[in-house]
Amino acid sequence: MSLKPLSFVFILGWVILAGVSGTPHAVASDLKSVRKVLVVGIDGCRPDALEAAETPNIDRLIKQGLYCENTDILAARGTKGDTVSGPGWSNLLTGVWPDKHGVVDNSFKGSNYQDFPHFFARVKEARPELKTASFSSWPPIAEKIVSAADTSVNAKALHASDYLKADDELSVAAAKSIREGATDVVVCYFGQVDETGHAHGFHPTVKKYVESIERVDGYIARLLEAVDERQKSAGEEWLILVCTDHGGSGTNHGGGREKPEIRQVFLIASGPLVKPGKTSEPTYQVDVVATAMAYLGIKLDDTWKLDGKSVLEITRVVEK
């Protein structure tokens, strides 16, 4: 996607001023105030099942953005960690691997979020004026991972049957927050796809599993409608990232370090500055945080010790 001439002037000016002043955070804050980020998390979503599902809203994001088809939930270096939600969402939301954030299973024992917090804390450190919001239906996200959120909504889905209602309510609340201009960085998590996989199987031939993905696509429609309204009425430019914590095999996904259907997932990035297309370049869960930060104009601080890289930097892209 080519930059608008005026946007190019702004960005060039920021680069020049940052080099002169030595304070890139301050300058970026002034020039990128209309940039916002939405991260959509779909728990337990296999890429081949996503392709089998009727998902016009996710398809729109893929068509307009970058589809990373070779995303790994495990680090290239040797690290511990089961292929379950605790490590997965910790990877996705802190931008570091289990040997840093300390979460290797769903017990969360040994977690080190003090040194490696949810990326909202990094956003606030660099740009304290930004408003952050988390909407989740899996309680550990709100209770253990989230920090520095101006708004944190936990739908408290304690049983499998709770997730449909919880995800529906979350999408309404998140869309309302976006539409009202109350937030700049939003994370919205949906849990029912994973719960359906556990109940009926993680596979594109499992009708109920595919149908759960299609329902979530309907919730995403609400979020996109709100984003579209803000982009038209308030001149905002939103980057939308769609990700998942793992795939699945049979009715489980634990112990899947050697199973591609569990560890190989996807990452979608759609919005300004994203080069549309598809890439097979290696990408990782931890790239979500780095991508969001880069789009917001936040220079990664070496002391944060983040493991990811921005997918906005990927150049080897083919047309879909």
Tokens read off for 209: 């599993």
What is the predicted pLDDT for the residue at 315? 83
| DSSP secondary structure code for residue 318 in this structure | B
Phi, psi of 64 (to 5 degrees): -90, -10
User: Who wins on pLDDT, 14 or 87?
Assistant: 87
The CB density around residue 35, as the number of other CB atoms within 10 Å, is 20
What is the predicted pLDDT for the residue at 29? 39
- Give the mean model confidence (pLDDT) for residues 80-107: 98
What is the predicted pLDDT for the residue at 18? 38
| Mean per-residue pLDDT of the chain | 90
Whether the pLDDT of residue 16 is over 50: the answer is no
* Percent share of the chain, pLDDT over 70: 89
- Alpha-carbon Rg of the chain, whole angstroms? 18
User: Domain boundaries in the chain?
Assistant: 1-31, 35-313
Range of weakest confidence among 2-6, 101-105, 194-198, 201-205: 2-6
User: pLDDT confidence of 273, banded at 50, 70, 90?
Assistant: confident
Phi, psi of 36 (to 5 degrees): -135, 160
Q: Is the dihedral of CA 75, 78, 83, 84 positive or negative?
A: negative
- Give the mean model confidence (pLDDT) for residues 61-75: 97
- Give the mean model confidence (pLDDT) for residues 27-51: 82
> Whose CA is closest to 36, among 180, 245, 211?
180
153 close to 105: Cβ distance less than 8 angstroms: no
- Give the mean model confidence (pLDDT) for residues 242-268: 98
Query: Which segments within the chain are labelled E, that is strand?
Result: 35-42, 66-72, 132-136, 151-154, 185-190, 237-243, 264-270, 277-279, 283-284
- Give the mean model confidence (pLDDT) for residues 189-212: 98
**Euclidean distance between CA atoms 201 and 193, whole angstroms:** 10
- Give the mean model confidence (pLDDT) for residues 281-306: 97
pTM of the predicted structure, to 2 decimals: 0.89
**Euclidean distance between CA atoms 1 and 139, whole angstroms:** 38
148 close to 93: Cβ distance less than 8 angstroms: no
Characterize the bridge pairing of strands 185-190 and 132-136.
parallel
Is the domain defined by 35-313 classed in CATH 2.20.28.120?
no
**Chain centroid to CA 41: how far?**
6
Q: Mark residue 22 as left, alpha or beta (left: phi above 0; alpha: psi -120 to 50; beta: remaining).
A: left
